[in-house]
Amino acid sequence: MRAIAILAAAATLVAHAAIADVKRHELIPEQLRGSWAPSADACKNADKSIIVLAAKAYTSSEATCAVAWVSETAAARGPVYSAHLQCAKPNDSARKTQSDVIFISKGVDQISIGLRFSDLKDYQRCPASEPATTR
């Protein structure tokens, strides 16, 4: 009987740890908003690789997206965000697609962005004074 009680308690603890606490937000978190580029040179040159995050928008050279919602999941090194987006390509405004993009903050001015964890790319925040055509 004692072994069963120990196993039940252990199973409860393991099950609790395996369940991720996911919070759903309407907006992209404020600390992620701004212009992001793979390098400082990309910021200065208004490069096509710049991604702009606003409260309800994700903009890149490939698409302009409206944020439907953002999921926040706790992780060992800080929260992982996944934005569910409704997107239109620049030359095809009639066709809308759905997309999910992952954001992981790596510091105040560093972020990883990608469609999947295997595709995450590092970006740095562009200074507000940098001229970017996609802002």
**Tokens coding 10:** 């252990």
Let me know how long the chain is.
135
Sequence-distant (6+) residues with CB within 8 A of 44 are 130
Lowest-pLDDT range of 35-44, 70-79, 90-99: 90-99
Reported in sequence order, the residue ranges of the chain that DSSP labels E, i.e. its strands, are: 22-25, 34-37, 51-54, 57-59, 64-73, 80-89, 92-107, 110-114, 121-125
SS3 120: coil
Give the pTM: 0.76
Average pLDDT, the chain: 83
Q: What is the pLDDT of residues 30-52, one digit of tens each?
A: 999 999 999 988 888 877 889 99
